Amino acid sequence: MEKTSLIVITGPTASGKTRRAVDVARAVGGEIISADSRQVYRGMDIGTGKDIREYGDIPAHMLDICPAGYKYNLFEYLRDYAEVRDDIVARGRMPILCGGTGLYVESVLKGISLPEVPANPELRQSLEKKSLDELTAMLASMKTLHNVTDVDTVKRAVRAIEIQRYYHEHPEAAAQAAPTPLTDALVIGVEVDRDTRRRRITERLHARLDEGMVAEVQRLLDSGIAPEDLIYYGLEYKFITRHLIGELTLDEMTSQLEIAIHQFAKRQMTWFRGMEKRGFPIHWLPGDLPADEFVNRVISLIK
């Protein structure tokens, strides 16, 4: 039997997974690696729920590693994750991946390792006049589009085509990118019922507004970040930016944002159920378990 080499603690937004990960890390001698696509950005704290105090004395990695306004991608995440994980393991500690970005979690579990693909200036020039729809169609003819982030902008679509062209011309690189799924990871899902999740989302949104979330977004805009770059991050940053540039009233922003977060949590659960169907078992534990019982249940599952 393989020994557990990675613990994953995931679940929808407002499920309380960070607190659970901290408790588990303290019990097993672990360190936390964030799997949250927005907590990598500096200055985006309240809106992403980046409560550094919650980690206490437990080391947490992959937080605040790039500037707000940047568009961090999956290649960069997998590269940085592997470096952090190897360092944690080399020090005899247990890596604990914690977060709700399903694409990041599943890509780690799939064992995907993306080679660095150089720029192709000639190809970029040949594509520069094409529309996003045309680029999307081109990319769809080259690979199955599993997520829309490849084609959410012209620049990203061109880059995705560039990568696929490189793989076609360099089959050895494509082979390197072929996934080797992890068979020794323990995946824990923090389960909360729908009504509890909705209540927590609503309470948390109003608490964050009281904490100064609107002022946080205003500071990011004042620092020179373009509104469209903040809107790109979605949810809190999208709706609050739209409010601050005059597109939404405060009440419209609050109600639309609340609906969007509920919809986001539902999409997260759909992704996790899909992961299970794709062969990644998740051990769902009730989110309302006492801390010691939750930790003991996790420890009992570790190989």
Residues 271 and 297 occupy one common structural domain? yes
Q: How far apart are CA 264 and CA 254, in angstroms?
A: 15
What is the rounded distance in angstroms from the CA atom of residue 187 to the CA atom of residue 7? 6
On whether both 125 and 104 belong to a single domain, the answer is no
- For residue 149, the model assigns a pLDDT of 62
Residue 1, domain member (yes or no): no
Q: What is the pLDDT of residue 170?
A: 84
One domain for residues 87 and 38: yes
Confidence (pLDDT) at 112: 86
Residue 214's domain spans which residues? 6-113+179-301
Tell whether 141 is covered by a domain: yes
Instruction: Flag whether 28 is in a domain.
Output: yes
Please list, in sequence order, all residues whose beta carbon lies within 8 angstroms of the beta carbon of residue 269, skipping any fewer than 6 positions away.
12
Instruction: Return the CA Rg of the chain.
Output: 20
Compute the residue count for the chain: 303
What CA–CA distance (Å, rounded) separates 113 from 78? Answer: 7
Per-residue confidence (pLDDT) for residue 152, from 0 to 100:
76
Give the helix/strand (H/E) hosting 67: strand 66-67
Three-state SS for 294? helix
Domain count, the chain: 2
Same structural domain, 131 and 142: yes
Q: Are residues 88 and 192 in the same domain?
A: yes
| In contact, 257 and 236? CB cutoff 8 Å | yes
Q: Please indicate, yes or no, whether residues 262 and 233 belong to a single structural domain of this protein.
A: yes
> Is 31 a domain residue?
yes
pLDDT of residue 147: 59
Domain edge (last residue) among 131, 154, 177 = 177
H or E segment at 156?
helix 154-169
Residue 33 lies in a domain: yes
pLDDT reported for residue 278: 95
> What six digits make up the tokens of 85?
């994980």
- 223 DSSP assignment: T
Residues in contact with 219: Cβ distance below 8 Å, sequence separation at least 6, in sequence order: 43
Which tens digits make up the pLDDT trace of 173-182? 777 666 789 9
Specify whether 64 is located in the same domain as 186.
yes
Pair 127, 193 in one domain: no
Note the pLDDT of residue 116.
81
Distance (Å, whole) CA 185 – CA 18: 18
Q: Which two tokens stand for residue 276?
A: 């299970």
Q: What angle do CA 207, 212, 213 make, to 5 degrees?
A: 80
Provide the CATH number for the domain around residue 188.
3.40.50.300
pLDDT in tens, the chain (303 residues): 689 999 999 999 999 999 999 999 999 999 999 999 999 999 999 999 998 999 999 999 999 999 999 989 888 899 999 999 999 999 999 999 999 999 999 999 999 877 788 999 999 999 999 999 999 999 999 887 765 667 778 988 998 899 889 888 888 777 766 678 999 999 999 999 999 999 999 999 999 999 999 999 999 999 999 999 999 999 999 999 999 999 999 999 999 999 999 999 999 999 999 999 999 999 999 999 999 999 999 999 999
Phi/psi-derived region of residue 101, left when phi > 0, alpha when psi is between -120 and 50, beta in every other case: beta
How do residues 72-109 score in pLDDT, each as one tens digit? 988 889 999 999 999 999 999 999 999 999 999 999 99
